[in-house]
């Protein structure tokens, strides 16, 4: 028994901030952002729009594509770093918006690797027979945890949501999932304060993303290389067996380095980072939905999703679409 993706969806908030808009906010240039990251624009949620709102639109699209209704869904997992509230979970708030009642609903927090973690968990629910129709969402309003005066971080991130519906199938679907973490690196990429730890708040009393970008970059490139090797070895596959790479969309240079490691031509790598920046847990399902809807990824093709993020966390999902 396999878990198979039977529908995908995405949603980006209406408001767009281009690199030229960012030039007006901080000391940066379109050229710097584009050359160092590949990002041209990012979407920002409206003031009254929350992570569960973004998740709702993406989930509706995925459910429609899968041809499933609210009474079919029996598991909801939301990967997010920016939940609406401390509690209830964003998954419960999404469940309410979707008029779904009774099924398990919970959040996963693995920062940019969140969607890969969520897929790994949903796969286990499906394989064990506990779920027959799982909704897996990655959704973020990172704009709410950005220091808009820090050019080193505010130009990198954006808001958005992506979703998939998984069902059991005898045809090959998810072949393997691989998830890892090493908390020893928590200092390199984090939000310095939160609910319980109030020791490192910014002057305005809030807490924002802070990152030692250069060190994170090096770790990301090395770690993504090794997760590719681990995934291929677990499936006794060669690099040439992979048809499509759908990487976490943080930085085009990291994506190119991983593609090179896989010997994957860039026209078989789905990149959307230029259009929405780093949307953390939302970036992989956003990119995947684009390549499904424009017909690039076809049924039966082999796809690798991979991600690296705060924690550090990292992981991969290999599947036949
Ligand atoms: N505009 C202009 N100059 C800038 C900007 C900006 N927006 N930001 C930084 N600079 C400057 C720096 O101050 C520095 O100046 P200096 O040399 O005078 O000190 C110079 O540019 C170079 O800075 P670096 O940090 O060395 O630049 P780098 O080439 O490493 O690019 C970047 C920075 C884009 C952040 C890169 O390191 C990166 O992408 N890192 C990884 C990000 C990532 O993948 N994170 C993981 C996932 S995110 C998550 O989990 C939430």
pLDDT, tens only, 28-47: 999 999 999 999 999 999 99
37 lines ligand 1 (CB under 6 A): yes
Based on the residue annotation, tell me whether 149 is a catalytic residue of this protein: no
How far, in Å, CA of 132 to CA of 47, rounded? 36
* Ligand 1 center from residue 216 Cα (angstroms): 10
Which single residue is written with the structure tokens 């993406």? 58
Q: In the chain, what are the domain boundaries?
A: 2-171, 175-276+294-320
pLDDT in tens, 241-260: 999 999 999 999 999 999 99
- β-pairing verdict for 159-169 and 189-191: unpaired
How far, in Å, CA of 304 to CA of 59, rounded? 22
pLDDT for the residue numbered 202: 85
Residues 6+ apart with CB under 8 A from 124: none
pLDDT for the residue numbered 93: 98
CA-209 nearest atom, ligand 1: 51
Both structure tokens of 156: 């990198």
Residues 6+ apart with CB under 8 A from 112: 248, 250, 278, 280, 281, 283, 307, 308, 309, 310, 313
- 2-171 against 175-276+294-320: fold identical: yes
CATH number of 2-171: 3.40.47.10
Based on the residue annotation, tell me whether 103 is a catalytic residue of this protein: no
User: Greatest CA separation found in the chain?
Assistant: 56
Q: Which mean pLDDT values do the consecutive 10-residue runs of the chain (321 residues) have?
A: 97 98 98 98 98 98 98 98 98 98 98 98 98 98 97 98 98 98 97 92 90 95 94 96 97 95 93 98 98 98 98 98 97
Spell out the alpha helix ranges (H) of the chain.
19-25, 30-37, 51-66, 90-97, 114-127, 151-154, 213-234, 252-261, 273-276, 283-293
- The structure's pTM equals 0.97
How far, in Å, CA of 172 to CA of 29, rounded? 46
Nearest CA to ligand 1 atom 8: 152
Could you give the angle at the alpha carbon of 306 between the alpha carbons of 301 and 307, nearest 5°? 155
pLDDT for the residue numbered 204: 85
CATH number of 175-276+294-320: 3.40.47.10
Based on the residue annotation, tell me whether 278 is a catalytic residue of this protein: yes
Candidate list 112, 180, 190, 251, residue with the active-site label: 112
Residues 6+ apart with CB under 8 A from 54: 11, 13, 45, 139, 140, 141, 159, 160, 161, 282
pLDDT for the residue numbered 262: 87
Candidate list 57, 180, 248, 276, residue with the active-site label: 248
């Amino acid at each position: 028994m396999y878990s198979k993706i039977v529908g995908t969806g995405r949603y980006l908030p209406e408001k767009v901030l281009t690199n030229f808009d960012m030039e007006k906010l901080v000391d940066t240039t379109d050229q710097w952002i584009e050359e160092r990251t590949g990002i041209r624009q990012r979407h920002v949620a409206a003031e009254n729009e929350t992570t569960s709102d973004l998740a709702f639109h993406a989930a509706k699209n995925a459910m429609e594509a899968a041809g499933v209704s609210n009474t079919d869904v029996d598991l909801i997992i939301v990967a997010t770093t920016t939940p609406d509230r401390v509690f209830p979970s964003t998954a419960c708030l999404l469940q309410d918006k979707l008029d779904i009642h009774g099924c398990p609903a919970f959040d996963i927090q693995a920062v940019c690797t969140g969607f890969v973690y969520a897929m790994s968990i949903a796969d286990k629910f499906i394989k064990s027979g506990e779920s027959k129709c799982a909704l897996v969402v990655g959704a973020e309003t990172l704009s709410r945890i950005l220091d808009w005066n820090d050019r080193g971080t505010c130009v990198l991130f954006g808001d958005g949501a992506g979703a998939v519906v998984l069902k059991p199938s005898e045809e090959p679907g998810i072949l393997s999932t691989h998830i890892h973490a090493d908390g020893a690196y928590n200092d390199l990429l984090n939000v310095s304060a939160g609910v319980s730890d109030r020791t490192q708040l910014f002057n305005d009393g809030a807490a924002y993303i802070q990152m030692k970008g250069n060190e994170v970059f090096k770790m990301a490139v090395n770690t993504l290389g090794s997760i590719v090797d681990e995934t291929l070895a677990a499936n006794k596959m060669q690099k040439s067996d992979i048809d499509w790479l759908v990487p976490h969309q943080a930085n085009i240079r990291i994506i190119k380095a991983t593609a090179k490691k896989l010997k994957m031509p860039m026209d078989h790598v789905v990149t959307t980072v230029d259009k929405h920046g780093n949307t953390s847990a939302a970036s992989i399902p956003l990119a995947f939905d684009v390549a499904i809807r424009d017909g690039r990824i076809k049924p039966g093709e082999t796809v690798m999703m991979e991600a690296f993020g705060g924690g550090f966390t990292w992981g991969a999902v290999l599947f036949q679409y």
